[in-house]
Amino acid sequence: MSRADSRRPDFTIILPCIAAMVAAAILIAAKSLCAAQPELPARELRAPAPVHEILQRACYDCHSDQTRWPWYSYLPPISFWVRGEVAAGRRRLNFSAWQDYATDPGTEDRKLENIARLLKSGAMPPWYYIATHPAASMNDADRAMLSDWIADRRKSLAAGADRPGRQ
């Protein structure tokens, strides 16, 4: 072995060490991002079964505490983007905290109005979510059912039928 060869690093040792460190870093990051799903709160939205099924399928992953985290949501750097999207979605609308909206005058109606607007525009669910979750796609019948339920619910709220303290 020449003198130049002895100064060259031995990649048969270095590369596996680097790979092991990268794998360990990914596992540590993934484990720190794994949070237990909270139990279903009593504050969750109460809606007819067909409406609830559509909402669960198309909306709950980003807009509830019942997120089904896909495998790639545990891999940095994708995990940071996915979790940021879910956190932002929950801040705007969280079906698991619906009763909080229902007890705050005007909030439930505003949330319903925003949902109706986004449904009508086709902005929700977003295309990039549907691309990775095709079952979340809503057809015209799904959108019509949600729109009808929202319209009925808003009428009920306007009539004061669901205000606390009223029968």
Is residue 124 one of the residues assigned to a domain? Answer: yes
Is residue 92 one of the residues assigned to a domain? Answer: yes
First to last CA, the chain: 93
Amino acid at 36: A
Amino acid at 104: D
Is residue 167 one of the residues assigned to a domain? Answer: no
Residue 12 pLDDT level (bands cut at 50, 70, 90)? confident
Instruction: Give the per-residue pLDDT at 21.
Output: 75
- Structural domain including 88 reads 3-159
Alpha helices in 34-164 (DSSP H): 49-58, 60-63, 78-92, 98-102, 107-121, 127-132, 140-159
Is residue 165 one of the residues assigned to a domain? Answer: no
- The whole model's pTM is what? 0.72
Residue 84 pLDDT level (bands cut at 50, 70, 90)? very high
More confident position, 164 or 144:
144
Instruction: Give the per-residue pLDDT at 165.
Output: 42
Average pLDDT, the chain: 85
Residue 66 pLDDT level (bands cut at 50, 70, 90)? very high
* CA–CA distance, 14 with 8 (Å, rounded to integer): 11
Q: What percent of the chain has pLDDT over 70?
A: 80
Measuring CA to CA, how many Å separate 62 from each of 77, 82, 84, 143?
18, 9, 10, 18
Measuring CA to CA, how many Å separate 15 from each of 6, 12, 25, 130?
18, 6, 15, 38
Number of domains in the chain: 1
